[in-house]
Amino acid sequence: MLSGIRALLRSESAPGFVVQWTAVSEELQSTSGNTPRRRSGTHETTERLLEAAANEFVEHGFDAARVSAIARRAGLTSGAVYARWPTKSDVMVAALDYIFQQYLPASRIKESGVDGMRPPDVIEKLGAGLLRADESRDVLVQVFGSARNNERIKECLLEFLNQDAQQISEIIEEGKLAGYVDPELSTAAMSLMCRATSLGVHLLVSAGLDDRYIPTQDEWNRLLSTLISATAPPDS
């Protein structure tokens, strides 16, 4: 579970389209001051603990997660956790931030190798994967539930949602500047539609929607292509 996170964190930025996705991601991360960060120990040990905490959250949720279980998963003691984060809430928020960073558009674009594509093609490529299982979206669904009763989780979620909105908006704005997207269309409206579709599709499919109501991949891709083409300037 979440085995691709470590490779993602260590991978180098690839040259791509006008938007510098890695720079955007780093800038957004540097402006975040609410999430508990690593306090001590080696990078590798901290990664193990974050991965363990993320898996514990996925399997048990925030309330049932235990620091001792996180430590056991990482092959360490509870003291290794508390040396970095003073409370369970701190370590779980740090783990969620760890997951969210690999789910942001900048990270997904780099991981998918589509950072050299036109903005409309980037959106279409990301949208094509919505029918496939995605552990990151599983986490996001759980976070929405936990955020109702935990202010720290709510703050972490809102920080991610705002970063996600900004990065999707960056893609759309680049498309407008390059002449691929109608400048008269609202960037906020298109960004919200993209994100609502992503979460909504996952909720329906993961809930066990009957197969007869789920399109094939080709059917889904064709619809996405049609919708995205409709956002092009009228004279294109």
Q: What is the mean pLDDT of residues 174-180?
A: 93
The pLDDT tens digits for 9-57 are 333 333 333 333 333 333 333 334 444 444 444 788 998 999 999 889 8
Residue bearing tokens 């996001």: 140
Q: What is the mean pLDDT of residues 112-129?
A: 80
Q: What is the mean pLDDT of residues 163-172?
A: 94
Q: How far is Cα 12 from Cα 220, in angstroms, rounded to an integer?
A: 32
Domains of the chain: 4-229 (1.10.357.10)
Residues 6+ apart with CB under 8 A from 211: none
Residue bearing tokens 């001051």: 33
Task: Average the pLDDT over each of 37-46, 172-181, 202-211, 222-231 and give the range with the smallest value.
Answer: 37-46
Q: What's the whole-model pTM score?
A: 0.72
The pLDDT tens digits for 187-209 are 999 999 999 998 999 999 988 99
For 85-151, the three-class secondary structure string (H helix, E strand, C coil) is: CCCHHHHHHHHHHHHHHHHCHHHHHHHHCCCCCCHHHHHHHHHHHHHCCCHHHHHHHHHHHHHCCCH
Q: Tell me the two tokens of residue 223.
A: 């619809």
Q: What is the mean pLDDT of residues 216-221?
A: 93
Residues 6+ apart with CB under 8 A from 113: 14
**Minimal CA–CA distance to 24: which of 125, 191, 168?**
168
Asked whether residue 109 carries a pLDDT value surpassing 50, the answer given is yes
Task: Average the pLDDT over each of 23-32, 69-78, 102-111 and give the range with the smallest value.
Answer: 23-32
Contact 83, 40 (CB under 8 A): yes
Q: What is the mean pLDDT of residues 53-62?
A: 87
| Triad 120, 3, 89: Cα angle to 5° | 95
